Amino acid sequence: MKYVFIALSFLALSGCFNENDTSSQQNSRAVDETQNINESGENPVSPATYPLFTEEKLNAANKEAVIPPQCYTKHEGEHNPCMICHQNYTYKSRPNYMFDAGLQSAYEFSDYGFTNRWDNLFEDRSERVAGIEDTEILEYINQDNYTPLIENLKAMSDWKGPIPEITDLHLAAEAFDDLGFAKDGSYWVAFNYKPLPSTFWPTNGSTDDVMIRLPAAFRETSCSGNDYSRDVYLANLSILEMSFQELESISVPPLDENAICTDLNGDGVLSNRISEIQARDFYVGNASSVPVTHMLYPEGTEFIHSVRYVGVNDQNDIVTPPRMKELRYMVKTNFYPDTWLESAYGNEQQEKIDGLLPKYVYRKEGSDNEFGWQLIGFIEDAKGRLRVQDREETHFCMGCHTTVGSTIDQTFAFARKVTGADGWGYINTRGMKDAPSKAWENNEILEYFRTVGGGDEFRQNEEMLDKWFNEDGTVKVDAVKAADVYTLTAPSRERALALNKAYRTIVEDQDFHHGRDANLKPAKNVYREVDENSPVLPGEKTRSYDIRLKW
């Protein structure tokens, strides 16, 4: 394996698995390195009103699809967007042992990976974008493509995958009550979080939301007939949150301790209305035998993540529209303890050192990321209808949800939730302060601007440069400090519509294998090929970062 790097200390933790723990992992690693194995078999027989599956390609367009386009950014020895994903943390301080902060300085790719195969970054879409009327794209993004997907999945008698259903999810916030609970009684809960810099900022092309659901035992009381209890559910969600944020106590919406039969605030009595609970060693209700594990979700935890176009209302406000670019679902099918994860990360690091290409077993009903999670994604077909992602499209998703140093249990959003009671409810960045990373003193977006030198990883969002940067490239500090997250990350109406149009051309082409970024101009600060002459980032330009926030 070649490396383009400056001298760095790199910790490689190798490990061995026992036979009982790793049969599926060993099988998935046994395939030829030229492509990932497909164990899906025949497509399920379906009375669906449109095709839910696409024809699989025999050869991958990009065998290193786990390396996202942003990793090919030209940092020119100065700019450092890589810090958001690639970090080292004190050993044993969290169950992430990737220790990949070296990637902030070095393009540590396999030989194959040195060539950037995300060709869509360099395509000029200006003529095609100009040919789409504003009214046409507005009509398109305000159509519901979620409900037809759910109806088709439910109509498939032999579909063995998940059906990520929330009634009226296409209506965004309207599908949830004030505390984020789905109005359909499906036990999905939306939470308010700060979007990760900067791909998921609306100004860079997408809006999104994330919902969590814990298993039934975490939603049921143990003291009044095993019935569903919102008090129990909120308590367990908050206990989980404390384990991620390393808190001794946390604010909660009003809870009745009598419904939980547990003294949660430690005052020695059961009260019918409390607003704070203390950290515990075990969950409550029918999950009272389940230990709370530091920064790890319990087995059976589920997430839904919808990635959408950038909506614009009649007042030119940026909103979440009905149409989804993608619908993503993941469920924790296996709980692995910290010691197992440390060994798994060690094996992953060794494979990277050996220059091996990544491999995963693809199944249409959901693919195992080898760290306990099953993932499935749905993406638009050429007509805008959501279909199951193919093998290589799914491979792309594994890059961020497997072995990235900054994630916590392979996820991002929950760790970025507004802490405590104020964070339960559908995502809303209006009035949201630019809270600092737990690794920093200054506001996160302010520091991101300073460190990256732009409003996106590629430093080509001209609207952000004009709005938040001086002509000499320095940040307009006072203006940034005075703005809320919505103002900092929302595009103008004109940019929003242009981004939607640009992405629509990718949908029409169905060439997601070549990239999903809706660039308005061909990328200029991105390598087509990384070689030994590519500048590297000096060690003093690397930065510590924590995806968690000081709310």
Q: Concatenate the DSSP letters of all residues of 261-322 into one string.
A: TS--SSSSS--S-EEEEE--SB--GGGTTSBP-TT-PPTT-EEEEEEE--EE-TT--EE--S
pLDDT recorded at residue 78:
96
CB 21, CB 340: distance < 8 Å: yes
Least confident of 237-251, 480-494, 524-538: 524-538
pLDDT in the model for residue 546: 98
Q: Parallel, antiparallel, or unpaired: how do β-strands 367-368 and 373-380 relate?
A: antiparallel
Q: Is 2 helix (H, G, I), strand (E, B) or coil?
A: coil
What's the pLDDT at 40? 61
For residue 310, is pLDDT > 70? yes
Predicted pLDDT of residue 359: 84
Partner residues linked to 387 by β-bridges: 379
Q: Report pLDDT for 64.
A: 95
Helices (H), 378-510: 391-398, 444-452, 462-468, 477-482, 485-489, 493-509
Helix (H, G, I), strand (E, B) or coil at 378: strand
Q: How far is CA 151 from CA 47, 155, 359, 367, in A?
A: 10, 6, 32, 22
Q: Which amino acid is at 142?
A: N
Angle, vertex CA 206, rays to CA 201 and CA 209, nearest 5: 85
Distance from the Cα of residue 517 to its chain's centroid: 15
Of the residues 243, 273, 298, which one is the last residue of a structural domain? 298
Residue 45 has pLDDT above 80, yes or no: no
Q: What is the pLDDT of residue 358?
A: 86
Tell me the backbone φ, ψ of residue 508, rounded to 5 degrees. -60, -40
pLDDT at residue 330 in the model:
98
Q: Is residue 276 part of a domain?
A: yes
Do 201 and 220 share a domain, yes or no?
Answer: no
Chain CA centroid to CA 524, Å: 26
pLDDT in the model for residue 452: 98
Flag whether pLDDT at 208 surpasses 70: yes
Is 36 in contact with 359 (CB distance < 8 Å)?
Answer: yes
pLDDT at 12: 35
43 vs 61, residue with greater confidence: 61
pTM over 0.75: yes
Structure confidence at residue 31 (pLDDT): 32
**183 shares its domain with 327:** yes
Count of structural domains within the chain: 2
Going by C-alpha positions, the residue among 16, 59, 17 that lies closest to residue 35 is 59
Whether residue 359 sits in one domain with residue 246: no
User: What are the tens digits of pLDDT across the range 419-434?
Assistant: 999 999 999 999 999 9
Beta bridge partners of 208: 307
pLDDT at position 6: 33
DSSP annotation string for 137-162: HHHHHTS--HHHHHHHHHH-TT--S-
Structure confidence by residue, pLDDT tens digits, 357-387: 888 899 999 999 999 999 999 999 999 999 9
Q: What are residue 412's phi and psi, to 5 degrees?
A: -115, -50
In a domain, 50, yes or no: no
Whether the ω angle into residue 206 lies within 30 degrees of 0, i.e. cis, is no
Mean pLDDT in residue range 181-209: 98
Encoding tokens for residue 253? 């919406």
Whole-number pLDDT of residue 220: 98
Least confident residue range of 101-105, 347-351, 392-396: 347-351
Q: Is 46 inside any structural domain?
A: no
**Domain shared by 357 and 280, yes or no:** no
Please report which helix (H) or strand (E) contains residue 18, including its range.
none
**In-domain check, residue 546:** no
The residues with which 424 forms a beta bridge, in sequence order, are 191
Query: Phi, psi (5° rounding) for residue 405?
Result: -65, -25
Does 334 lie in the same domain as 467? yes
Range of the domain at 528: 69-213+303-541
Alpha-carbon distance 147 to 184, whole Å? Answer: 14
User: Given this model, what pLDDT does residue 37 score?
Assistant: 58
- Is the pLDDT reported for residue 108 higher than 50? yes
Token couple for 514: 């070549």
- Say whether both 209 and 125 belong to one domain: yes
pLDDT computed for residue 353 by the predictor: 84
322 within a domain of the structure (yes/no): yes
Task: Give the other-Cβ count within 10 Å of 126's Cβ.
Answer: 13
Backbone φ and ψ of 519, nearest 5°:
-75, 135
pLDDT of residue 18: 36
Same domain, yes or no: 282 and 403? no
State the DSSP H helix or E strand holding residue 387, giving kind and residue range, or none if neither.
strand 386-388
CA-CA distance, 348 to 352, in Å (whole number)?
6
* pLDDT single digits (tens) 53-86: 998 877 889 999 999 999 999 999 999 999 999 9
27 falls within a domain? no
Contact 421, 252 (CB under 8 A): yes
Query: Quick check: is 7 in a domain?
Result: no
Task: Write the CA distances from 360 to 15, 18, 213, 511, integer angstroms.
Answer: 19, 20, 26, 21
Tokens of residue 371, six digits: 């760290």
Q: Which residues pair with 469 in a beta bridge?
A: 475
For position 39, what pLDDT does the model report? 65
In-domain check, residue 535:
yes
- Provide the pLDDT confidence category of residue 479 given band limits of 50, 70 and 90: very high
Per-residue pLDDT reduced to its tens digit, 441-462 = 999 999 999 999 999 999 999 9
- Tell me how far apart the alpha carbons of residues 55 and 75 are, in angstroms, rounded to a whole number: 37
- At 118-161, the pLDDT tens digits run 999 999 999 999 999 999 999 999 999 999 999 999 999 899 99
Same-domain check for residues 289 and 398: no
Q: Are residues 202 and 170 in the same domain?
A: yes
Does 79 lie in the same domain as 165? yes
State whether 174 and 281 are in the same domain: no
DSSP alpha helix (H) spans, 389-476 = 391-398, 444-452, 462-468
Identify whether residues 202 and 343 lie together within a single domain.
yes
Share of the chain above pLDDT 90, in %: 86
The residue length of the chain stands at: 551
* pLDDT score of 383: 97
**β-strand 302-308 against 324-332: which pairing, if any?**
antiparallel
What mean pLDDT comes out for the span 274-291?
A: 98
Place of tokens 């939301």: 209
Instruction: Choose the final residue of a domain: 298, 325, 350.
Output: 298
Of 272, 298, 324, which closes a domain? 298
pLDDT tier at 44, thresholds 50, 70, 90: low
Biggest distance spanned by C-alpha atoms of the chain: 69
